Amino acid sequence: MKNKLALEGTRVLDLTHVLSGPYCTMLLADMGAEVIKIEKHGEYDRKAIPLIKGESYFYMVLNRNKKSITLNLKHEKGVEILKQLTAKSDVVVENFRPGVMEKLGIGYDILKKVNPKIIFASISGYGQNSRYSNRAAYDLTAQALSGVMAMTGDPNGPPMRCGFDVGDIIPAIYTAFSIVTAICARMNTGVGQMIDVSMIDSLILCQPDQFTTTKVTGKAPERAECGGHIVAFPYDAFQTRDDWIAIGCWGDPMFARLADLIKMPELVEDPKFITEEGRCANRSELRKFIEKWVSNLTAAEAISLLLDNGIGGAEVYNYKQVLESAQVKDRDLVKRMVHPVAGEVDVPGIAPKFSETPGDVRKPSPLLGEHNKEIYTGLLQYSKEQVKKFEKEGVI
Q: Which of residues 206-235 bind a second copy (CB under 8 A)?
A: 206-223, 226-229, 231, 235
Task: Find the part of the chain contacting a second copy (CB under 8 A) among 98-106, 127-135, 258-266, 374-382.
Answer: 127-135
Kindly state the smallest distance separating residue 75's Cβ from a second copy, in Å: 25
Using rule CB under 8 A, residue 61 touches a second copy: yes
The closest of 36, 111, 105, 110 to 70, measured between CA atoms, is 36
Task: Find the part of the chain contacting a second copy (CB under 8 A) among 97-105, 341-349, 373-381, 384-392.
Answer: 341-349
Dihedral through CA 111, CA 93, CA 358, CA 315, nearest 10? -160
Is 168 assigned a catalytic role? yes
Using rule CB under 8 A, residue 386 touches a second copy: no
The closest of 35, 7, 97, 12 to 365, measured between CA atoms, is 35
Residues comprising the chain, all counted: 396
- Provide the H-helix boundaries in 88-238: 100-104, 108-114, 139-145, 166-189, 199-204, 208-217
Three-class SS of residue 91?
Answer: strand
Residues 74-103 that bind a second copy (CB under 8 A): none
Using rule CB under 8 A, residue 151 touches a second copy: yes
Residues 101-120 that bind a second copy (CB under 8 A): 108
Using rule CB under 8 A, residue 316 touches a second copy: yes
Q: Which is nearer to a second copy, 6 or 380 (CB)?
A: 6
Task: Find the part of the chain contacting a second copy (CB under 8 A) among 70-78, 178-186, 361-369, 371-379.
Answer: 178-186
Write down the catalytic residue from 168, 196, 201, 236: 168
Residues 9-28 that bind a second copy (CB under 8 A): 9-10, 19, 23, 27
Three-class SS of residue 394?
Answer: coil
What does the alpha-carbon distance between residue 298 and residue 341 come to, in Å, rounded to a whole number?
A: 45
Using rule CB under 8 A, residue 308 touches a second copy: no
Sign of the torsion formed by the C-alpha atoms of 236, 239, 245 and 249: negative
Kindly state the smallest distance separating residue 141's Cβ from a second copy, in Å: 4
ω into residue 50 within 30 of 0, thus cis?
yes
What does the alpha-carbon distance between residue 250 and residue 366 come to, in Å, rounded to a whole number?
A: 47
Kindly state the smallest distance separating residue 351's Cβ from a second copy, in Å: 5
Q: Which is nearer to a second copy, 78 or 192 (CB)?
A: 192
Interaction pattern, residues 229-268, with a second copy; x per rule: CB under 8 A: x-x---xxxxx----xxx-x-x------------------
Kindly state the smallest distance separating residue 373's Cβ from a second copy, in Å: 28
Strands 34-39 and 235-239: unpaired
Among 12, 38, 197, 302, the residue binding a second copy under the rule CB under 8 A is 197
Report how far apart, in Å, the C-alpha atoms of 206 and of each of 18, 123, 181 are.
23, 17, 19
Q: Which residues are catalytic?
A: 168
